[in-house]
Amino acid sequence: MFEKPPKVEQGPENTPSESEIKSLFEELSGGKEFAEVRKLEDAEGLYLWDIQITDTQGEMTEYSYMRKGRYEEGESSTTAIHVTFYDREGIPVGGHSVAKYIEGVWVKNS
């Protein structure tokens, strides 16, 4: 007869601080100035933060942080930052995940 292993209780999930996210945004933007598009919080803190960088040719790059969870604006299975590239007409032309927050550490995608 097999016994069930005891349930492992999980504590609160690790989430990055606002200053950690800002620091990563600064690194990802290569030190370029960025505009904050939106920044949303709930009882647990910051869950969505979008920034934009516009280059001299009028093309735009948007970085978006979302904490793991389901929100009115969307949902994410991991705490991560994604990038989306837009052409001069504002049409998305590509994007991908750039970093995930795993066990308290930002892991960048290569």
- The answer on pLDDT for 4 being more than 70 is no
Query: What is the reported pTM?
Result: 0.83
CA atoms of 1 and 32, how far apart (whole Å): 63
Amino acid at 108: K
pLDDT tens digits, 41-99:
999 999 999 999 998 888 999 999 999 999 999 999 999 999 999 999 999 999 999 99
CA atoms of 56 and 42, how far apart (whole Å): 36
Mean pLDDT computed over 25-32: 92
**What is the end-to-end Cα distance of the chain in Å, rounded?**
47
CA 41 to chain centre: 13
